[in-house]
Structure 1
Amino acid sequence: MEGIVLNEKNVRLNVKAETWEEAIRIGGQLLVDNGCAKPSYVDGIIRSVKEYGPYIIISKGFAIPHTRPEDGAVKIGFSLITLDKPVYFDGDEEPVKVMICFAATDSKTHLDILKMIVEFVEKGYIEPISSMHTLAELHALVDSE
Protein backbone atom coordinates (compact mmCIF):
# COMPACT_ATOMS: atom_id res chain seq x y z
CA MET A 1 0.00 0.00 0.00
CA GLU A 2 1.52 3.19 -1.21
CA GLY A 3 2.29 5.87 1.35
CA ILE A 4 1.23 3.70 4.29
CA VAL A 5 3.88 2.30 6.61
CA LEU A 6 3.04 -0.29 9.26
CA ASN A 7 5.88 -0.42 11.79
CA GLU A 8 6.74 -0.86 15.46
CA LYS A 9 5.87 2.81 16.10
CA ASN A 10 2.25 2.57 14.98
CA VAL A 11 1.27 -1.11 15.40
CA ARG A 12 0.55 -3.03 18.62
CA LEU A 13 -0.70 -6.61 18.47
CA ASN A 14 -2.56 -8.57 21.16
CA VAL A 15 -3.04 -5.56 23.42
CA LYS A 16 -4.70 -6.13 26.78
CA ALA A 17 -7.67 -3.80 27.30
CA GLU A 18 -10.69 -4.41 29.50
CA THR A 19 -12.97 -1.78 27.93
CA TRP A 20 -13.46 0.00 24.62
CA GLU A 21 -12.32 3.21 26.28
CA GLU A 22 -9.05 1.63 27.40
CA ALA A 23 -8.50 0.22 23.90
CA ILE A 24 -9.02 3.66 22.34
CA ARG A 25 -6.63 5.21 24.87
CA ILE A 26 -3.93 2.68 23.87
CA GLY A 27 -4.40 3.26 20.13
CA GLY A 28 -4.73 6.99 20.66
CA GLN A 29 -1.57 7.13 22.76
CA LEU A 30 0.35 5.83 19.76
CA LEU A 31 -0.92 8.85 17.81
CA VAL A 32 0.26 11.11 20.64
CA ASP A 33 3.64 9.33 20.92
CA ASN A 34 4.19 9.76 17.18
CA GLY A 35 3.38 13.47 17.23
CA CYS A 36 0.13 13.10 15.28
CA ALA A 37 -2.23 14.26 18.03
CA LYS A 38 -2.42 15.91 21.40
CA PRO A 39 -3.87 14.01 24.39
CA SER A 40 -7.02 16.13 23.94
CA TYR A 41 -7.63 14.32 20.64
CA VAL A 42 -7.87 10.96 22.42
CA ASP A 43 -10.27 12.49 24.95
CA GLY A 44 -12.27 13.87 22.00
CA ILE A 45 -12.64 10.40 20.46
CA ILE A 46 -13.95 8.98 23.74
CA ARG A 47 -16.28 11.94 24.26
CA SER A 48 -17.67 11.53 20.72
CA VAL A 49 -18.31 7.80 21.17
CA LYS A 50 -20.08 8.47 24.47
CA GLU A 51 -22.16 11.19 22.82
CA TYR A 52 -22.95 9.59 19.45
CA GLY A 53 -22.62 5.89 20.17
CA PRO A 54 -20.32 3.38 18.46
CA TYR A 55 -20.32 5.11 15.04
CA ILE A 56 -16.67 4.10 14.69
CA ILE A 57 -17.52 0.39 14.23
CA ILE A 58 -17.54 0.05 10.46
CA SER A 59 -17.28 -3.69 9.91
CA LYS A 60 -17.53 -6.91 11.88
CA GLY A 61 -14.88 -6.79 14.62
CA PHE A 62 -13.38 -3.53 13.33
CA ALA A 63 -13.49 0.08 14.54
CA ILE A 64 -11.82 3.27 13.34
CA PRO A 65 -11.54 5.65 16.31
CA HIS A 66 -11.21 9.27 15.19
CA THR A 67 -12.73 12.66 15.89
CA ARG A 68 -12.70 16.22 14.57
CA PRO A 69 -9.29 17.75 13.77
CA GLU A 70 -9.94 20.69 16.09
CA ASP A 71 -9.96 18.30 19.07
CA GLY A 72 -6.17 18.10 18.85
CA ALA A 73 -4.98 16.58 15.58
CA VAL A 74 -1.43 17.76 14.86
CA LYS A 75 -0.68 15.92 11.61
CA ILE A 76 -1.96 12.97 9.63
CA GLY A 77 -1.24 9.59 11.15
CA PHE A 78 -2.70 6.31 12.28
CA SER A 79 -2.19 3.41 14.63
CA LEU A 80 -3.33 -0.19 14.30
CA ILE A 81 -3.99 -2.29 17.37
CA THR A 82 -5.37 -5.77 17.86
CA LEU A 83 -6.83 -6.87 21.15
CA ASP A 84 -6.10 -10.13 22.93
CA LYS A 85 -9.78 -10.20 23.98
CA PRO A 86 -12.50 -8.29 22.14
CA VAL A 87 -14.10 -5.21 23.66
CA TYR A 88 -17.75 -4.25 23.46
CA PHE A 89 -19.09 -0.76 22.89
CA ASP A 90 -22.21 0.44 24.69
CA GLY A 91 -25.18 -0.03 22.39
CA ASP A 92 -23.52 -2.57 20.11
CA GLU A 93 -23.52 -6.35 20.32
CA GLU A 94 -20.57 -6.80 17.97
CA PRO A 95 -17.19 -7.46 19.63
CA VAL A 96 -14.27 -5.41 18.30
CA LYS A 97 -10.77 -6.92 18.01
CA VAL A 98 -9.06 -4.62 15.51
CA MET A 99 -8.84 -0.81 15.65
CA ILE A 100 -7.23 1.69 13.35
CA CYS A 101 -7.12 5.05 15.13
CA PHE A 102 -6.34 7.99 12.91
CA ALA A 103 -5.78 11.71 13.06
CA ALA A 104 -6.09 14.21 10.23
CA THR A 105 -5.83 17.98 10.15
CA ASP A 106 -8.62 18.43 7.60
CA SER A 107 -11.20 16.42 5.69
CA LYS A 108 -8.93 15.59 2.72
CA THR A 109 -5.43 14.70 3.96
CA HIS A 110 -6.39 11.33 5.40
CA LEU A 111 -7.60 9.80 2.14
CA ASP A 112 -4.66 7.35 1.99
CA ILE A 113 -5.60 6.06 5.44
CA LEU A 114 -9.23 5.70 4.41
CA LYS A 115 -8.15 3.81 1.26
CA MET A 116 -6.13 1.44 3.47
CA ILE A 117 -9.14 0.92 5.76
CA VAL A 118 -11.47 0.19 2.82
CA GLU A 119 -8.89 -2.19 1.34
CA PHE A 120 -8.54 -4.07 4.65
CA VAL A 121 -12.32 -4.54 4.82
CA GLU A 122 -12.85 -5.38 1.14
CA LYS A 123 -10.02 -7.92 1.07
CA GLY A 124 -11.21 -9.63 4.24
CA TYR A 125 -8.06 -8.74 6.21
CA ILE A 126 -9.74 -7.90 9.53
CA GLU A 127 -10.26 -11.47 10.69
CA PRO A 128 -6.69 -12.63 9.88
CA ILE A 129 -5.20 -9.46 11.39
CA SER A 130 -7.16 -10.01 14.60
CA SER A 131 -5.20 -13.19 15.36
CA MET A 132 -1.71 -12.10 14.29
CA HIS A 133 1.18 -12.09 16.74
CA THR A 134 3.98 -10.34 14.82
CA LEU A 135 4.53 -7.36 12.59
CA ALA A 136 6.11 -9.75 10.06
CA GLU A 137 2.80 -11.62 9.76
CA LEU A 138 1.01 -8.33 9.16
CA HIS A 139 3.53 -7.32 6.49
CA ALA A 140 3.23 -10.72 4.79
CA LEU A 141 -0.54 -10.24 4.52
CA VAL A 142 -0.63 -6.66 3.25
CA ASP A 143 2.42 -7.01 1.00
CA SER A 144 1.12 -10.20 -0.64
CA GLU A 145 -0.59 -8.29 -3.45
Structure 2
Amino acid sequence: MNALDLTPLYRNSVGFDRFASLLNNALTTDSATGYPPYNIEVLDEGKYAITLAVAGFKQGELDINVDRGLLSVRGEKEKSSDSKYLHRGIANRTFERKFNLADYIEVRGAELEDGLLTISLEKEVPETLRPKKIEISKS
Protein backbone atom coordinates (compact mmCIF):
# COMPACT_ATOMS: atom_id res chain seq x y z
CA MET A 1 0.00 0.00 0.00
CA ASN A 2 1.31 3.46 -0.89
CA ALA A 3 1.84 6.01 1.85
CA LEU A 4 -0.54 8.94 1.85
CA ASP A 5 1.14 12.29 1.13
CA LEU A 6 -0.10 14.78 3.72
CA THR A 7 2.14 17.66 2.59
CA PRO A 8 -0.78 19.82 1.35
CA LEU A 9 -2.40 19.53 4.77
CA TYR A 10 0.74 20.85 6.47
CA ARG A 11 1.09 23.77 4.01
CA ASN A 12 -2.37 25.19 4.65
CA SER A 13 -2.92 24.55 8.34
CA VAL A 14 -1.34 24.90 11.72
CA GLY A 15 -1.71 22.47 14.61
CA PHE A 16 -3.10 19.53 12.65
CA ASP A 17 0.05 17.43 12.96
CA ARG A 18 -1.64 15.08 15.46
CA PHE A 19 -4.59 14.60 13.10
CA ALA A 20 -2.24 13.84 10.24
CA SER A 21 -0.32 11.27 12.27
CA LEU A 22 -3.60 9.65 13.40
CA LEU A 23 -4.74 9.42 9.79
CA ASN A 24 -1.42 7.99 8.70
CA ASN A 25 -1.46 5.41 11.54
CA ALA A 26 -5.02 4.38 10.68
CA LEU A 27 -4.02 3.71 7.09
CA THR A 28 -0.86 1.77 7.95
CA THR A 29 -1.92 -0.17 11.05
CA ASP A 30 -2.45 -3.89 10.56
CA SER A 31 -6.04 -4.47 11.63
CA ALA A 32 -6.14 -8.12 10.56
CA THR A 33 -6.46 -9.35 14.13
CA GLY A 34 -10.00 -8.89 15.39
CA TYR A 35 -9.37 -10.13 18.90
CA PRO A 36 -10.95 -9.31 21.21
CA PRO A 37 -14.09 -7.96 19.56
CA TYR A 38 -15.31 -4.61 20.87
CA ASN A 39 -18.06 -2.00 20.65
CA ILE A 40 -17.77 1.77 20.90
CA GLU A 41 -21.01 3.27 22.13
CA VAL A 42 -22.30 6.84 22.46
CA LEU A 43 -24.20 6.96 25.76
CA ASP A 44 -25.05 10.64 25.94
CA GLU A 45 -23.64 13.91 24.69
CA GLY A 46 -19.95 13.75 25.56
CA LYS A 47 -20.19 10.29 27.19
CA TYR A 48 -18.93 7.11 25.58
CA ALA A 49 -18.23 3.48 26.44
CA ILE A 50 -15.85 0.96 24.93
CA THR A 51 -16.89 -2.64 25.64
CA LEU A 52 -14.48 -5.50 24.96
CA ALA A 53 -15.46 -9.19 25.01
CA VAL A 54 -12.82 -10.70 27.31
CA ALA A 55 -14.43 -14.02 28.22
CA GLY A 56 -12.21 -16.11 30.46
CA PHE A 57 -10.01 -13.23 31.65
CA LYS A 58 -9.91 -12.36 35.34
CA GLN A 59 -9.60 -8.81 36.60
CA GLY A 60 -5.94 -9.33 37.53
CA GLU A 61 -5.12 -10.49 33.99
CA LEU A 62 -6.28 -7.21 32.41
CA ASP A 63 -4.37 -3.94 32.31
CA ILE A 64 -5.69 -0.54 31.15
CA ASN A 65 -3.38 2.43 30.54
CA VAL A 66 -3.79 5.93 29.10
CA ASP A 67 -0.77 7.81 27.82
CA ARG A 68 -0.92 11.00 25.74
CA GLY A 69 -4.29 10.31 24.15
CA LEU A 70 -3.74 6.59 23.58
CA LEU A 71 -5.89 4.13 25.53
CA SER A 72 -4.30 0.70 25.72
CA VAL A 73 -6.06 -2.43 26.96
CA ARG A 74 -3.92 -5.52 27.48
CA GLY A 75 -4.88 -9.01 28.56
CA GLU A 76 -2.45 -11.74 29.53
CA LYS A 77 -3.64 -15.14 30.70
CA GLU A 78 -1.79 -17.01 33.41
CA LYS A 79 -0.03 -20.06 31.98
CA SER A 80 -1.95 -23.29 32.61
CA SER A 81 -0.54 -26.55 31.29
CA ASP A 82 -2.67 -28.87 33.45
CA SER A 83 -5.61 -29.08 31.03
CA LYS A 84 -5.92 -31.42 28.06
CA TYR A 85 -8.35 -30.33 25.38
CA LEU A 86 -10.11 -32.27 22.67
CA HIS A 87 -11.21 -28.96 21.15
CA ARG A 88 -10.18 -25.45 22.13
CA GLY A 89 -12.49 -22.78 20.69
CA ILE A 90 -12.29 -20.16 23.43
CA ALA A 91 -9.42 -17.78 22.75
CA ASN A 92 -6.93 -17.82 25.57
CA ARG A 93 -4.21 -15.66 24.13
CA THR A 94 -2.52 -12.45 25.09
CA PHE A 95 -3.93 -9.35 23.38
CA GLU A 96 -3.46 -5.62 23.22
CA ARG A 97 -6.04 -3.21 21.82
CA LYS A 98 -5.25 0.48 21.36
CA PHE A 99 -7.70 3.34 20.91
CA ASN A 100 -6.79 6.91 19.98
CA LEU A 101 -8.68 9.35 22.18
CA ALA A 102 -9.72 12.78 20.95
CA ASP A 103 -8.66 15.86 22.85
CA TYR A 104 -10.32 16.26 26.25
CA ILE A 105 -11.60 12.66 26.40
CA GLU A 106 -11.00 11.33 29.91
CA VAL A 107 -11.27 7.74 31.13
CA ARG A 108 -13.74 7.72 34.02
CA GLY A 109 -13.52 4.06 35.02
CA ALA A 110 -13.73 0.43 33.98
CA GLU A 111 -15.96 -2.46 34.97
CA LEU A 112 -15.65 -6.21 34.31
CA GLU A 113 -18.95 -8.09 34.35
CA ASP A 114 -20.09 -11.30 32.62
CA GLY A 115 -16.98 -11.46 30.44
CA LEU A 116 -17.38 -7.88 29.18
CA LEU A 117 -14.91 -5.13 30.06
CA THR A 118 -16.60 -1.73 29.83
CA ILE A 119 -14.48 1.41 29.88
CA SER A 120 -16.34 4.67 30.54
CA LEU A 121 -15.16 7.81 28.76
CA GLU A 122 -16.25 11.42 28.99
CA LYS A 123 -15.41 14.52 27.00
CA GLU A 124 -14.55 17.33 29.37
CA VAL A 125 -13.64 20.59 27.65
CA PRO A 126 -11.85 22.98 30.04
CA GLU A 127 -13.79 26.06 31.04
CA THR A 128 -11.21 28.33 29.38
CA LEU A 129 -11.90 26.72 25.99
CA ARG A 130 -15.69 26.82 26.15
CA PRO A 131 -17.51 29.53 24.20
CA LYS A 132 -18.41 32.58 26.23
CA LYS A 133 -20.48 35.65 25.59
CA ILE A 134 -18.72 38.98 25.80
CA GLU A 135 -20.87 41.85 27.01
CA ILE A 136 -20.43 45.19 25.28
CA SER A 137 -20.13 48.04 27.72
CA LYS A 138 -21.45 51.57 27.15
CA SER A 139 -18.91 54.34 26.90
TM-score (norm 1): 0.28
Identify which of structures 1 and 2 has the higher relative contact order when contacts are C-alpha pairs closer than 8 Å and 6+ apart. 1
Which structure shows the higher helix fraction?
1
**Larger radius of gyration, structure 1 or 2?**
2
